[in-house]
Amino acid sequence: MKNPQGAYRLLLPALVISFILISVAEVWLLTLVGGWIGLGWTLLILVAEAFLGAWLLRREGRKSWSALAKAYEAGRTPTGHLADAALVLAGGIMLILPGFFTDIIGLVFLLPFTRPLARKALGWVVARQMSRAGLDLGSALPKNAPGVVPGEVVEDRAPKSPTQADRDVISGEIE
């Protein structure tokens, strides 16, 4: 059995390294673009992207929240709506932060026609991580947890002829 706690122990260092690498890449790209089109234009683009991000976050956030509330009122499980709300929030934050790489990812998360692709990618990543951790997607129990007996359900479709015991139960003549 795999140790899922070992994977979670590596999560924090992996996130720290990812944030550092993304920050370095953002500074490199900002320097490159700033040298190419000038500091003024680069700052203007960053400010415009921040305003666009705030506006999109507000607009798409309202839509996501409304769809989530309607799903709850209708008694449906709002899994897709929850994912949309999370993507809208993450995308808005990424667009408000300065940088071009995060802005591209933020736009993919925020725009209504690209968000379904991001939701599918997010679902694939979550399903892959769950299967790596030994979790069955149909249950919350690990596949080889104590007390879990592996097996499968097989339906017998052949008609049975009633036995004498069955006939006794049906007729009420049980001894």
Please report, for the chain, the start and end positions of each structural domain, with discontinuous segments joined by +: 49-136
The count of C-alpha atoms lying within 13 angstroms of the C-alpha of 15, restricted to the half-sphere facing its C-beta, is 6
52 neighbors 42 (Cβ within 8 angstroms): no
**CB-neighbour burial class of residue 67 (10 A; exposed 0-12, middle 13-18, buried 19+):** middle
pLDDT means per 10 residues in the chain (175 residues)?
Answer: 61 86 92 93 90 87 85 79 86 86 90 89 82 63 59 67 57 53
Rounded to two decimals, the pTM is 0.63
The 10s digit of each residue's pLDDT in 11-25 is 788 889 988 999 899
- Listed in sequence order, the residues at least 6 apart from 29 whose beta carbon sits closer than 8 Å to its beta carbon are 99, 100, 101
